[in-house]
Amino acid sequence: MGGTLPELGASAPGFSLDGVAPGPSKGSEARPTHLQLANLAGSWLVLYFYPKDFTSGCTLEARGFQRDLSAFAAAGAQVIGISADDPDQHASFCGSEGLTYPLLSDPGGQVSKAYGSWIPPFSQRHTFLIDPQGVLQARWTAVRPAGHSQEVLAELQRLQAVAA
């Protein structure tokens, strides 16, 4: 039903999803985008799944990633959120919360299932840290939104220090 969690050390399940990305300038509206995991190779990726735009926990989690976005960028990592909400809903959420990272739409839960994060009709609150070679290096399930972004950032920095 919810899919099987992929193993750490394995290749991250691929995806190809529509969604929204930040506009070309600060404060501009989010624009439609289509992202594939294969096109994100070469940098770290924080891929977080969440149930629904505009809910209290999801808003808190999204704000945390936005607050820490420059630290993730400094560490060479991109942040992408995925839920079952449609791109128009994501665009409204990005505008309302000032989010400047992509949100992707997984309405049937196919990608969420591949990551063990689907209980219809919602993605579950799970986060995955994928290295530049596309390998899963860390995962969090049953995420508590408060402070989660800092938890992910600390693990990213720890993994990078070990690899250095």
Return the structure tokens found at 94.
């990005």
> Sheet of 77-83: strands edge to edge?
31-36, 16-21, 103-105, 77-83, 44-49, 126-130, 136-140
**Catalytic annotation present for 94:** no
Question: Are the C-beta atoms of 20 and 103 separated by less than 8 Å?
Answer: yes
Catalytic residue, candidates 30, 35, 47, 58: 58
Active site residues: 58
